[in-house]
Amino acid sequence: MTVSQLAEYLQISKHTIYNWIFQGKIPYSKIGRRVRFKREDIVRWSEDKKIKASYDERIPR
């Protein structure tokens, strides 16, 4: 997956993706000078980043 494809997939800007790469916040690979992402790595990474509310923190319905 390219930077553009990932930005569309996550619905964020390419600039944010590049910032995350520079900051080491997102898993990626380089092929020559090109940055690529594995969908499985991104799914796992995004699941790890989700905020998990405990039972007591949930909003009452």
- Give the number of other Cβ atoms within 10 Å of residue 17's Cβ: 22
Task: Please report whether residue 41 resides in a domain.
Answer: yes
Q: What is the pLDDT of residue 61?
A: 53
Give the Cα separation of 42 and 35 in Å (integer).
13
pLDDT band at 51 (very low <50, low <70, confident <90, very high): low
Q: What is the average pLDDT score of the chain? A: 87
Q: What is the pLDDT of residue 20?
A: 96
Task: Please report whether residue 23 resides in a domain.
Answer: yes
Task: Please report whether residue 60 resides in a domain.
Answer: no
pTM of the model: 0.75
- 59 and 49 in contact (C-beta within 8 Å)? no
Task: State which residues form the domain around 29.
Answer: 3-48
The DSSP result for 4-60, as a single string, is HHHHHHHTS-HHHHHHHHHHT-S--EEETTEEE--HHHHHHHHHHHS----GGGSPP
Q: How many domains does the chain have?
A: 1
